[in-house]
Amino acid sequence: MKTPRDLLLAQHRAAEPRLEALRREVVQHCREERQVAVRGMNFLSLLWRELILPSRHLWAAVATAWIVILLVNLSLRDPVPSGPVKVYAPAMMSFQEQQTLLNALLTDRSSPADIDRPKSFTPRPSGERFAVKTA
3-22 tens-digit pLDDT: 888 888 888 888 888 999 99
Average pLDDT score, the chain: 80
- Say if pTM beats, i.e. exceeds, 0.75: no
Contact (Cβ atoms closer than 8 angstroms) between residue 39 and residue 32: no
Quick check: 122 pLDDT over 70? yes
- pLDDT of 38: 66
Given a cut of 90, is residue 120 above it in pLDDT?
no
How big is the CA angle at 80 (ends 78 and 83), to the nearest 5 degrees? 150
For residue 35, pLDDT beyond 80: no
